[in-house]
Amino acid sequence: MSKILIVEDEKKIARIMELEITHEGYEAEVVYNGKDGIEELKNDDYDLLILDIMLPGLDGIEVCNRIRKFSEIPIIMVTAKDSTRDKVKGLDTGADDYITKPFEAEELMARIRAQLRREKDNEKNAEKNILKIDDLVMDKDKYTVSREGDNIELTKKEYDLLKYFLENKDIVLSRDQLLEAVWGYDYVGQTNIVDVYIRYLRSKIDDPYDKKLIKTVRGVGYVIRDEENV
């Protein structure tokens, strides 16, 4: 169940939003000022924030600016102001959407669903770009590799070779397959280069650690798997 935080100082409006959100099957929490909203987000997990701009003390723009320093939570800003300048300022600060009072409950719920759906899609895409086996993790978006939390520096070819292994984990790959996938047709027949780079890769992701991931299958090639050698 998605959990939504409402930061709105007008208690009647806050209550209406809370009722509509819970009626749709979401969990809702309400606070009435920006400072409490920031603290709530720091101390609990939420999937979406509905943030009024005209708040006592810290206004919504400043609240959004501070939240963006520690969270990427989807933010829908709500305000009585409807000028383009106000909307641009809110979005530039880090809000994901903007709705103007007065609004229909159906419009608010549609915007909430859209943001939650987008966040879910982003999470799925992020997962696709993470390759891992045991405690070895490759982040294709950040172009990083780590093991046991240690950052591992790889050359371009070492990275490409490891990526191909991770994309085909538990599959035994011949030297010719690795050569074609990582080096291309220009290197056909030069399978010794594969063995050289396997040694390079092992020296960085296997040798410093107790558990070895790249296994040699004699007479066939190599495989990456997280089970012990048999």
Domain-wise residue ranges, the chain = 3-128, 130-224
Give the separation between CA 110 and CA 115, rounded to whole angstroms. Answer: 9
Fold of domain 3-128? Rossmann fold (3.40.50)
Q: Write the CA distances from 213 to 111, 169, 220, 226, integer angstroms.
A: 46, 10, 17, 6
Q: For the chain, 230 residues long, give each residue's pLDDT as a single digit of tens.
A: 899 999 999 999 999 999 999 999 999 999 999 999 999 999 999 999 999 999 999 999 999 999 999 999 999 999 877 667 777 777 888 899 989 888 999 999 999 999 999 888 777 766 678 899 999 999 988 899 999 989 999 999 999 999 999 999 999 999 989 988 888 866 666 778 899 999 999 999 999 999 999 999 998 999 999 875 44
Pick the CATH number of 130-224 from 1.10.10.10, 3.40.50.1980, 2.40.160.40, 3.30.420.40: 1.10.10.10
Tell me: cis bond preceding 208? Omega within 30 of 0 counts. Answer: no
Contact yes or no for 214/170 (Cβ under 8 A):
no
Q: Are 214 and 165 in contact (CB under 8 A)?
A: yes
Please tell me the pTM assigned to this model. 0.59
